[in-house]
Amino acid sequence: MDPFLEQALDEARAGLGEEGIPIGSVLVHQGTVLGRGHNRRVQQGSAILHAEMDALENAGRQPAQVYRECTLYTTLSPCAMCSGAIVLYGIPRVVIGENASFMGEEDWLRGHGIQVDVVQDPACRALMQNFIETYPELWHEDIGH
């Protein structure tokens, strides 16, 4: 597994350990992790703290040029909100652990010139599937169903 995707998966596991939704993300600039995060909607009572948003927040304010040289790694396909942030900040590449559990706005991202790499990692998929089977009501709340 890619070491940065592994770090995103570690974040997802940390979220599960906090009784949250196990999705993790890291923002990488030239081989250095600028920010890492996981879904904290449950833990913080937040409407917007998805993993990608948490990683961006934890990276702090960056110059526009830095975002344009980053890759965002996420364990699950990004939703419309997170995809909007990716496009807004001009992040050119997203590496997705898996999209079988949830298909986000991948085509929309590609339509905005973002390179989207889906790796279908078995560990990302197993973590999400186990969570969905164990906590279906929380999962459906998070994705808006």
**Active centre residues (catalytic):** 52
The token pair that represents 76 in the structure block: 């699950």
DSSP letters for the chain: --HHHHHHHHHHHHHHHTTS---EEEEEETTEEEEEEE--HHHHT-SS--HHHHHHHHH----HHHHTTEEEEESS---HHHHHHHHHTT--EEEES--SS---SHHHHHHTT-EEEE---HHHHHHHHHHHHH-HHHHHHHTT-
